[in-house]
A and B are shown apart, each in its own frame.
Chain A
Amino acid sequence: MSGYDVSALRAQFPILEQEVHGLPLVYLDNAATSQKPRAVLDVSRHYYEKLNSNIHRGTHYLAQEATAAHEKAREKIATHLNAGSPDEIIFTSGTTDGINLISSVLGYSGRIGKRDSIVISNLEHHSNTVPWQMLCERTGAELKVLPVHEDGTLELDVFHRYLDENPILIALTHISNAFGSVLPVRPLIQSAHEAGALVLIDGAQAVPHLSIDVQELDADFYVFSGHKAYAPTGIGVLYGKREHLEALPPWRGGGEMIKKVDYAGTTYNDLPFKYEAGTPNIEGALALGAALDFLNEIGLDDLHSHEASLIEHAATALSAIEGLKLYGPHDRAGALSFNIDGIHHYDLGTLLDQMGVAVRTGHHCCQPLMARFGITGTIRASFACFNDEGDVQRLADAVTKGARMLR
């Protein structure tokens, strides 16, 4: 990892130059949203200063330039994920939007009835839970939840039992947002396919940290958000295998998603536009393309080993604190989550903030997972390319001091 220059990377994030409560900011809340490098901010600004125009319908110069840039961003994303074609890349507003798209059109398709089931895991974020709950409410299908062991790993024997009942779809996170644990999605997808189930992977926490190959994973749907991967908020991606996206009905109706509108009946547009009603977030798409370029310039393997070493050092330093419990298995990416005996996570988070250390406290939009562990929340430190050993030290010192104050 000799080529990894963290201070050069850090210098690319203008927001990190500031102080909070009189101290240099240590930003460890990247799993909530990552900070944005200058290269991404420049693309957003450039778009509005030089390119802004509505895409796909304009005959004028700017409209054509903006359209070309937008579609080039789609190609970039397809290449990054190793999708079979850019047509399989649907722009969404984020992970939540992508999951709602699939759960809705699956409902519209009439493929789901009272005797069917959908499987999620206990690790899922509310956004990979509630849309499926809503779909089950509408269709009478059953929602089954894969339990997790005490160490946060999935109970695989239950998974295989659920597969025997031929679920329609399995929705799983690639990396747990609450614990940072990486799920073995590749073999899970394979088993699910053998049982005839579709698989949707929530990649919100994985895309910023791992190299993703949707064809190698063989995921039917893979969704993620731009803003957790160095891009702005309001842009996200749904990858879907062409055969599924073509067979499923459209979702939102409007401009762009149509071929021809007639009061006697409307014909819908081809992929990917079939699922992109309305004027899209053009600047967001371009900025997401730039964010993926940024990630690829660092190199996801180098990035992953840098972050893994920070997380390991943080885990070691924190474990030395009396009564501190880390959640989830050792195989973590991006984040680590903990509590200290007798100390409310919210109190410790408040004191860490006073010491200039930004972390997330609470249930992390995973209330059922918190209930499983009999807790109301945890403290989560989540890492990005610009974090360094100094940040790990500041975190460990602040947690030590905070714990002392609260004891």
Chain B
Amino acid sequence: MTIAEKQEQLLEELNLFQDWTERYEYVIGLGRQLPAMDEELKTKDRLIEGCQSQVWLDASLENGAVLFVADSDSQITKGIIALFIRFLSGESADNILTADFAFIAKTGLKEHLAPTRANALKLMAGQMKQRALELALKK
């Protein structure tokens, strides 16, 4: 499945929900399902600066695929990053760098996020591309 297809699937799932409560519960649930991040990985250089809550993001390369691991002290933030991880983790750095994040607007989540939270969304997306780029350059 391409990144675009995975995004499409995610949108379909989100559209099943009638109201904001269900959407939020779904996002919070995604965060809960995220594999636990090693405490040792929660270092300062893995923190995404500029968010109201703490978000750690780690990226590693395995057989040409970028694997993301993340955690946050905020469950909603963790859910949002889980959403990103779902369609980006396991992809090649090239695919991640060219991925179109415009679909976020279609999820309807942004309207339900405080401006600071919406900004965090942008920061997270940017950081994931940044880490993928760093790994690609190291290679």
- The A-contacting residues of B in range 86-139, CB under 8 angstroms, are 112-114, 117
Produce 1/0 per residue, A346-387, CB < 8 A to B: 110111011000000010000000000000100000000000
Q: A350 touches which one: B25, B54, B117 (CB < 8 A)?
A: B117
A156, CB-defined interface residue at 8 Å: no
B52, CB-defined interface residue at 8 Å: yes
Within 8 Å CB of B21, what residues of A?
A: 354, 405
Given known A-B contacts A405-B28, A406-B28, A350 and B114 have beta carbons under 8 A apart: yes
Within 8 Å CB of A346, what residues of B?
A: 52-53, 74, 76-77
State in angstroms the CA–CA spacing of A405 and B23 once bound together.
11
* Interface SS of chain A: helix
Within 8 Å CB of B75, what residues of A?
A: 343-344, 347, 406
Size bracket of the A interface: 10 to 19
Interface contact B76-A347, CB-CB below 8 Å: yes
* Interface SS of chain B: helix
Interface contact A351-B24, CB-CB below 8 Å: yes
Within 8 Å CB of A347, what residues of B?
A: 53, 74-77
Produce 1/0 per residue, A385-407, CB < 8 A to B: 00000000000000000000110
State in angstroms the CA–CA spacing of A347 and B31 once bound together.
13
A50, CB-defined interface residue at 8 Å: no
State in angstroms the CA–CA spacing of A406 and B77 once bound together.
12
Q: B112 touches which one: A354, A362, A376 (CB < 8 A)?
A: A354
Within 8 Å CB of A351, what residues of B?
A: 24
B73, CB-defined interface residue at 8 Å: yes
Besides A344-B73, A347-B77, A376-B54, 16 new A-B residue pairs in contact (Cβ under 8 A), listed by A number: A21-B20, A21-B112, A343-B75, A344-B53, A344-B77, A346-B53, A346-B74, A349-B114, A350-B113, A350-B114, A353-B114, A354-B21, A354-B24, A354-B112, A362-B52, A406-B28
| 7 closest residue pairs by CB, A with B | A344-B74, A347-B76, A347-B74, A346-B52, A346-B53, A354-B20, A347-B75
